[in-house]
Amino acid sequence: MRKLDPQHTQFGVFLAFFLMPLSGLGTDIYLPSLPAMAEALHTSTAQIQFSLTIFLIGYALGQFVVGNFLDSFGRWKIGAVALFLFGLSSLMIAFVDSVAALHGLRLVQGLMAAVVAVAKRTFFVDLFSGEQLRGYLSSFTIIWSLGPIVAPFIGGYLHIHFGWQANFIFLALYAWLALALELWRGGETLAQRQSFVLADIASRYRYMLAQSRFNWGLLNIALPYSATLAFSMVAPFLIERRYGYSPEVTGWSALLMGLAWMAGGFAARWQLSTALLSKHRRAFGAMLLAAGVMLLVSLQYANLYTLLAFAFIVHASCGMAFNIYFTECLGMFPQFAGLSGGLVGGIAFMLTSLLSYSAVAALRVDSQILLALVYVIFALCLGGTAWVASRQQNMMENTIEK
């Protein structure tokens, strides 16, 4: 197997950053097209919204499985095959004529995006360590947020000029361009292969899942991302059907939310040396305040401007919380980089898909007030995890003093 040439390490970093937004592109590029797709495929709003959820389910399940293979058989070839299949499934979506086919192909897309994501996350753990690794992992979530930032803007433009199918053709071309670059200068980075023995794999899983700090981090990744995904599900219908704007406005709105998420990532990166719980409380406080005021204001002034103004603050707070705990969890087990990276993504994004879709479906969110209520619920949950963690920390400190 071809090893990565040390002279191409920086090119490998560039390629990893280039591929990090892939899952965000796959999730968000067709947001402006959701209402049009519902009409074209003769299906309901809920069924089209579920195509977002099923992508995340595939993204989560793929990460559960692929980590073992990446640690045992290497990252490079498996990642290359995943890029090819992601592109193929994207191209096929452009020609579907039923929502069932859409859901099936979105599941494949999610699975393949998971393989690429875990392979590229482990790239950094393979080659870097210490503060340099923490810096890269923190940058990872910022670069990853470029997907939600640019995807709806690109999608809105493509939809207006070429139709909703163009979104998925774009995804195919993006993946295959990355594949060409990978085959040109990529290579294997795994130094020591782990045994592919089920008993050993189960032992590694038990070891990681026995760490309460790890489990706590996973929950605190899922909660803020669930809030932002709820916006992705609901906003296109609010903006285009309730407020009467075009898909292009949906794209610009999602671009703004992506910038908010990136701002939160930068805020987290600037606080790398700050205590974890202090950062958590800041993110929770800002999110709850913005969500609470949004709920009150929306009773009288529900429009595009109030929607985006308050959602911006909520999403920035969510981006901060997500970055804090994603960085924390990814760096915990460098000896099982592929497995732990897959476990982080698998559990966190599975929780995200279930929590976000459940909240939107249970409350039947079709108004700005109900979206604000979803934000408040997730903010309170994030505050609850901070409170429990703070109590546990105080109990440990009291025990040590005694």
**Six-digit token string for 178:** 């990355």
Is residue 123 one of the residues assigned to a domain? yes
Is residue 402 one of the residues assigned to a domain? no
Give 171's contacts (C-beta < 8 A, 6+ positions apart).
Answer: 25, 26, 29, 86, 87, 90, 109
Angle at 116 (CA atoms; ends 112, 119), nearest 5 degrees? 135
208-249 tens-digit pLDDT = 888 888 888 899 999 999 999 899 889 999 999 899 998 888
C-alpha closest to that of 148 among 253, 286, 240, 73: 253
Is residue 131 one of the residues assigned to a domain? yes
Is residue 48 one of the residues assigned to a domain? yes
Query: Which long-range CB contacts under 8 A does 382-387 form with residues at least 24 apart?
Result: 382/220, 382/223, 382/224, 382/280, 382/283, 382/284, 382/287, 382/288, 382/321, 383/284, 383/288, 385/216, 385/219, 385/220, 385/223, 385/280, 386/277, 386/280, 386/281, 386/284
Q: What is the pLDDT of residue 339?
A: 74
Burial of 2 from C-beta contacts in 10 A (0-12 / 13-18 / 19+):
exposed
Give 170's contacts (C-beta < 8 A, 6+ positions apart).
Answer: 29, 154, 158
Q: CA-to-CA distance for 324 and 173, rounded, in angstroms? A: 32
The residue assigned the tokens 């803007």 is: 153
Is residue 225 one of the residues assigned to a domain? yes
Provide the residue range defining the domain that includes 235. 9-189+197-394
Q: What's the CATH number where 253 sits?
A: 1.20.1250.20
Torsion of CA 260, 338, 115, 217, to 10 degrees: -30
Cα separations in angstroms, 271 against 265, 268, 385: 10, 5, 20
Is residue 399 one of the residues assigned to a domain? no
Burial of 9 from C-beta contacts in 10 A (0-12 / 13-18 / 19+):
middle
Burial of 180 from C-beta contacts in 10 A (0-12 / 13-18 / 19+):
exposed
Count of domains forming the chain? 1
Is residue 202 one of the residues assigned to a domain? yes
Q: What is the mean pLDDT of each run of 10 residues along the chain (402 residues)?
A: 84 92 90 92 91 90 83 89 97 95 96 92 83 75 76 88 95 97 90 77 84 88 92 91 89 87 87 85 95 96 96 95 85 74 80 89 92 96 88 64 52
Is residue 400 one of the residues assigned to a domain? no
Q: What is the pLDDT of residue 401?
A: 54
Dihedral sign of CA atoms 36, 40, 44, 48 in order: negative
The alpha-carbon radius of gyration of the chain (Å, integer) is 21
